[in-house]
Amino acid sequence: MRTRTDQITAHDGTFDVHVWLPESGSGPGILLVQEIYGVGPYIEKVAAELAGRGYVVAAPDLFWRLHPHWQGEHTPEGTKVALDLASGFDFAQGVADCALTVGHLKAMPEVRGGVGALGFCLGGSIDYMLATQVELAAVLSFYGSAVPDATGLMEQISAPLLLVFGGQDPYITRDRVAVVEQAVKDRPNVVMHVAEEAGHAFHNSEAPMFHHRAAAERVWEVALAFLDEHLPVRS
C-alpha cells in the first residue's frame, strides 16, 4: 500500500486530500469522509483497511478553512474542543469539497470500477447529502445526525445506500432513527442497519468512550458485504 497527499482547488483556496493506494495500484474509488476529529488515526486505520482490500481511498481535509490538518483527541476534553471547532464548519461547503473530491477520484488513472462514499458521524451526514447531488456507485452513511430531518431528500438518491445507526445513541435518539426506518420502507435501493445495543460512533476503535467492539465488528461485515455487492474489487 502506498499513500500520498493530493491538492484540490476550490473557489476559495486549496485543500489537501489524503490518498491510499492498494498494492495492485488501481481499484474502485472510495471517498472517506471524516468525523469531527479530522483525518486522524481512526480515519487512517479505516482507509488502510479499505486500501488493503483493493480500493483507492481519498479522505479530504474538510476543516481546512478553520484549522488545516486538524486532528482532535478521542477524549471527553478533545471531543468538546472538536465540537467547538465544528460549530464553525460550513456544512454546504463541506459537501461541495466532497463533490470536488469525487471528481478528483473519478479522474485519477488509478481508479477503475466506479466511486463510492463512506462517512462517519459528520461524514455520514455529508455523504448522505452528497448522494443527492453526485452520481455514486455506493453510499455508506454511519450515524449521520442530519439524516432524520432530511428523509424527504431520499427520493433524490438513486445509488445503493446503507444507513447505520446505534439504538442507544444519545445524539440521534431511537425515535429519530425510527423516522428513518419508516422513510426507507419502500425504497429498494436502501439498506438500514440499527445496532440496538450501541451508541454513537460505536465503530470508532480509537474512542474508548464510544467504541462497541461487538457491534462494530458485526456492522463492519455488513458494510464490507455492501461494498462487495455494489462496488466490487475486480482481480
pLDDT tens for the chain, 235 residues: list them.
Answer: 899 999 999 999 999 999 999 999 999 999 999 999 999 999 999 999 999 999 999 999 999 999 999 999 999 999 999 999 999 999 999 999 999 999 999 999 999 999 999 999 999 999 999 999 999 999 999 999 999 999 999 999 999 999 999 999 999 999 999 999 999 999 999 999 999 999 999 999 999 999 999 999 999 999 999 999 999 998 7
| Other CB atoms within 10 A of residue 134 CB | 21
Give the model's pLDDT for residue 235: 76
Alpha-carbon distance 43 to 206, whole Å? Answer: 10
Give the model's pLDDT for residue 84: 96
3-state SS, residue 76: helix
Give the model's pLDDT for residue 1: 86
Give the model's pLDDT for residue 89: 98
C-alpha cell at 34: 471524516
Residue 113 identity (one-letter amino acid): G
Alpha-carbon distance 135 to 156, whole Å? Answer: 11
Q: How many residues comprise the chain?
A: 235
Classify each residue of 180-201 as buried b or exposed e, where b means 16 or more C-beta atoms within 10 Å of its C-beta.
beebbeeeeebbbebbeebbbb
C-alpha cell at 163: 444507513
Give the model's pLDDT for residue 108: 98
Residue among 36, 219, 232 nearest 120 (CA): 36
Q: In what order do the strands lie in the sheet with 2-10?
A: 2-10, 13-21, 56-60, 27-33, 111-120, 139-142, 161-166, 190-195
